[in-house]
Structure 1
């Protein structure tokens, strides 16, 4: 009897509770990564957002190189005096090396910095925004983007808080708007390799453009020799060897691009700059905190060990857990709209919409219902034409107002405007 009574008193868990007790399903990190990267081989290969441009780049490199090799192979088969095995082998080796460096540049992590699911703790409790200040009867305080000063080789360098990755970017890091990642020692996003160029793939990028330049010079030189050594005049040789003429013209044009790019990056290496720093901070016109001297600058690139990736894209994560907390992301999106850029220039994280007097007004204030506010108060604090300014009300004492916002403790910040 007692056993039956005890069995009746037992509480059977509801299906929802039982389901929640089940272990969450897991996925690889690369499958839920919020950036715009493309992954292959189970997250082992990390490509940029525009990785499809590799097909065009491969065609522009491989087309002329393979054409030259085939021409040399045919000439060698027919016993042509200008053809030799070393020339053919040299062209093949340069072409293979060029493709290897292209793949190593495009298919590896350029130095992606892991994102935070929450901002730094000291910043999480200092979110002073216009609508929160107004609710607490304070003068609206519109902040500029948060910046910290750090010392690098005795010089002050400013680091900026990334509102997308929720972290302070390390010195020389920047956020790529195409791949949507913060990258260590960000140089630029190269559309030809379809990848960001950063700390972990910059050496391979230098080898790629250098080998491309050498390949162009190689094909150009031996194609010209092929014309000169033929019998008859130069014009006669050109009229009977269209392939060599086409290769000469193509390589002459390509050398101006890849050769000029190689020389430019050799200059950047000698001064220890990145492309981003050269265009943004103009370190060639002022003191560079990273410059160590010509020899040390080249040694830093050629002898330094490539650091390991900061992100393990193959690690297991819970399937229902987003990489960033969705509730904070909604809040943070409204929070970002309260910033004012001091230069009033386009910024990926900040946007470009401004209100009057260059003040950014959050969208949340535009959706508030003011019907509960006393009409006499509107006439008192507003203009004579009946207009109502939310920032005028912020300077008044709360005792004049009969309306108080009712916000649930767990309410989504995006729903406040609907109250």
Structure 2
């Protein structure tokens, strides 16, 4: 309430002083300053941003379920495949490799779940803007050029190129990819690399564990009929089926995201490329101005926000600034 202006544009502290209530005015001024400091401190940290996210309970449960699945598969592999096997150094080594990959993947999953995905914070925060009050958020070069479609109608912030409003987290996310209920967070510019590394590490862990299980069955029971093996080693068969099904699902997701990394695209752009003018050439066909080759695209993606200098081509023009690409395409 201390930040609400009245019809003359004065804050409560200024209004109190103008009426001669100096002590009350100073008290209101200090209260307003403390409120703004707490608000700035809350939104400047990752935990503060995530605390403002309204994530449905079911999606948080999905994130917890993912941890249970990964740890459950790891336990099954170590207890059913590695531990009861004959004394062999190879099984122990592969068990350590799978455990390291699975636990390391969970570490990146934790980063992707709790890290700021890249919430857009414009130079002028409009969260406290009121009708008839400060309109400094409209003082932006993109809006000067007439690109009013860059102004988000939901959060009232000027969206940079490739960003999108996330309807779950209620914020605009830079380089928005998608919202993943399995991690309980949006996937954007800052946590997309963590998400991809998690997928790659878990895919490798499941592939190795699947191969080790097959090797053990084939190597130890080469001359034995498969029916008795399936009957006496039901746990191995159960793990093999469970790991195989999940491996197919996770591998397809990993392959899709690796393809996006190599081409410098996002899931949102790949599904909505017909809607974005910056992904269309002069003839209206698809054209990716961000593609700088597989190697450079990968380096840029894993730079964790420290983006390489971007140069795009529209026609025969070499444009050094990505925002200029947007202006040219629009």
TM-score category, normalised to shorter length = 0.5 to 0.7
For each residue in 1:313-334, what CA deviation from the matched residue of structure 2 results, as whole angstroms up to 9, or x when unmatched? Answer: xxxxxxxxxxxxxxxxxxxxxx
Unaligned runs of 5+ in 2: 1-18, 308-330
1:360 aligned partner:
none
1:108 pairs with 2:118: no
TM-score scaled to structure 1, two decimals? 0.54
- 1:278 is aligned to 270
Give a deviation string over 1:267-320, Cα, whole Å, max 9, x none: 212221110001011559611121212222122223x24359xxxxxxxxxxxx
Residue aligning to 1:169 = 159
Q: 1:56 aligns with which of 56, 59, 65?
A: 65
Higher relative contact order (CA 8 A, sep 6+): 1
Deviates more, 1:288-297 or 1:46-55: 46-55
Asked whether the 8 Å contact 1:148–1:160 carries over to 2, the reply is: no
Partner of 1:196: helix, strand, or coil?
strand
Q: Which residue of 2 aligns with 1:188?
A: 178
Of 187, 198, 220, the match for 2:188:
198
Give distance in 2, aligned partners of 1:147 and 1:196: 30
SS at match of 2:292: coil
Aligned positions, number: 262
1:20 to 28, 36, 47: 28
Tell me if structure 1 keeps the 8 A contact 2:63–2:183.
Answer: yes
- Hey, what does 1:267 align to over in structure 2? 259
Unaligned runs of 5+ in 1: 1-10, 125-145, 151-157, 309-419
Separation of aligned partners in 2, 1:14 and 1:58: 58
Q: Structure 1 residues 204, 14: closer, same or farther in 2, change over 3 A?
A: closer
Residue aligning to 2:311 = none
- Deviation at residue 211 of structure 1 after TM alignment: 1.1
Greater helix content: 2
Give 1:240 deviation, angstroms: 1.1
Aligned partner of 1:300 in structure 2 is 300
Q: CA deviation at 1:148?
A: 6.6
TM-score under structure 2 length normalisation:
0.68
Pair 1:169–1:257, CA change in 2 (3 A): same
Aligned partner of 2:78 in structure 1 is 69
SS of residue in 1 equivalent to 2:172: strand
- Root mean square deviation of aligned Cα: 3.6
Per the TM alignment, residue 66 of structure 1 is displaced from its structure 2 partner at its CA by 1.4
Contact 1:105 1:195 (8 Å CA) reproduced: yes
SS of the counterpart of 1:229? helix
Change in CA separation of 1:189 and 1:227 when aligned onto 2, cut-off 3 Å: same
Contact 1:120 1:166 in 2 (8 A): no
Per the alignment, residue 132 of structure 1 pairs with none
**Deviations, residues 344-381 of structure 1 (Å, cap 9, x unaligned):** xxxxxxxxxxxxxxxxxxxxxxxxxxxxxxxxxxxxxx
